[in-house]
Amino acid sequence: DMGGHDTYMHKEIAEQAEAVDRVLRGRIDDKFATVHLGGLNLDPREARSVRRIKILGCGTSYHAGQIGAQLIEELARIPADAEPASEFRYRNPVVDPDTLYVAVSQSGETYDVLAAVQELKRKGARVLGVVNVVGSAIAREADGGTYVHAGPEVCVVSTKCFTNTVVAFALLALHLGRIRDLSVADGRRIIEGLRRLPGQIDEILKAEPEIKRLALHFADAKSMLFIGRVRGYPVAREASLKLKEVSYIHAEAYPASELKHGPLALVEPAMPTVAIVPDDELLEKNRAALEEIKARSGRILAVAHQEQEKADHTIIVPKNEDELDPILMGIPLQLFAYHTALALGRDIDKPRNLAKSVTVE
């Protein structure tokens, strides 16, 4: 049942405020400025002894894990990184006893992720799952973890589950941070930020007519560049993946800082750039990148917290805490991908050559 929407993708984008509400519900502890994640199966002493966190997933779940790794480093100061599970399992990885492994999957059935988890467990590693489907293979195989509570996701390309997975990582990061050295004041700041998310998501979704207009404007592009820096980079990667999957327009994501080391050579009017420009400590750096693109007559669509003078168009999103901004900044670009695909007559819920979950080798 699409509840009045023309596609599941549109329905699932529209459901994100309530989905985020669900992942937060019952978990916030205001007294200690932390969160409780019932199924983690990691006591405080164990949580303190974690030296490193390695996050594994595929596709959109991998991108959610990249933002998750940044949240864990920022809030819990534990070195963390994400890697495609499909790569990890083929490279005889060093499995370190002080590393906590986190497997991310919407379906909980993706074979590359499951195989990585099984190999890790065989070698004695501790593996948590950040999974949407309750009771799925990865959820069962993991030592513990947390459910993402996005609800059923039908469209092959993931939208609401991506957002909820990142929020689940914010909860995990806050939990680990408050066991280690995140202050009560910072814990409160993050909790207040999390509580603002659902209202801000609905605010972003109200801009759909404007985003649709922009999508029609850029739908003739053969290729698009997506750029962002640090917190904005995984947002750019996920937005680029979304556009590719659903519209079949070639898109490439690059760190804005690397533009001058190569991709600037591609910039011309026929290749538009989508830039993620949060109001954080890198704002001036990001503005300089926009200037570089403008000087080469590149068309720019910015997603930002304030109007960007160098951009041809700016989609303004509400500001949250710096650490949580990546959760919001990709949402308008889900609608951008959707409306581009709609304009091009694509099979939105079932893009060619793709499956919702790849349960084979």
Q: Is 65 in the site for ligand BG6 (CB under 6 A)?
A: no
Residue position matching structure tokens 């989905």: 19
Q: What strand order describes the sheet that includes 126-131?
A: 80-84, 52-57, 99-105, 126-131, 144-147
User: Nearest CA to 128 among 156, 91, 157, 165?
Assistant: 165
Q: Is 77 or 121 the residue whose CB approaches ligand BG6 more closely?
A: 121
Binding track over 30-59 against ligand BG6, x by CB under 6 A: ----------------------------xx
Q: Are the CB atoms for 138 and 109 separated by under 8 Å? A: yes
- The correct pick among 156, 224, 251, 328 for binding ligand BG6 (CB under 6 A) is 156
Is 356 one of the catalytic residues?
A: yes
Is 308 a binding residue for ligand BG6 by CB under 6 A? The answer is no
Query: 76: which residues sit within 8 A by CB, 6+ positions away?
Result: 173, 176, 177, 180, 182
From residue 163, alpha-carbon distances to 14, 47, 52, 148, 209 in Å are 12, 25, 24, 9, 21
Q: Minimal distance in Å, beta carbon 213 to ligand BG6?
A: 27
- Select 112 or 143, whichever has its Cβ closest to ligand BG6: 112
Compute the least distance from the CB of residue 59 to ligand BG6, in Å: 3
Note whether 358 binds ligand BG6 by CB under 6 A: yes
290 and 264 Cβ atoms separated by less than 8 Å: no
Residues 107-126 that bind ligand BG6 (CB under 6 A): 107, 110, 113
157 binds ligand BG6 (CB under 6 A): yes
CA distance linking residue 32 with residue 192, whole number of Å? 13
Please count the CA atoms within 13 angstroms of the CA of 60 that sit on its side-chain side: 30
Q: How many residues bind ligand BG6 (CB under 6 A)?
A: 16
The region of 17-25, 99-107, 185-193, 255-263 touching ligand BG6 under the rule CB under 6 A is 99-107
- Segment lying near ligand BG6 (by CB under 6 A), choices 9-17, 204-212, 257-265, 351-359: 351-359
Look up residue 261 and give its DSSP letter.
Answer: G
Residue 88 C-beta: closest distance to ligand BG6, Å: 14
Question: What is the gyration radius of the CA atoms in the chain, in angstroms?
Answer: 20
**To the nearest whole angstrom, how small is the minimum distance from the Cβ of residue 11 to ligand BG6?**
16
* 354 binds ligand BG6 per the rule CB under 6 A: yes
Residues labelled as active-site residues? 356
Sites of contact with ligand BG6 (CB under 6 A) = 58-61, 105-107, 110, 113, 156-158, 354-355, 357-358
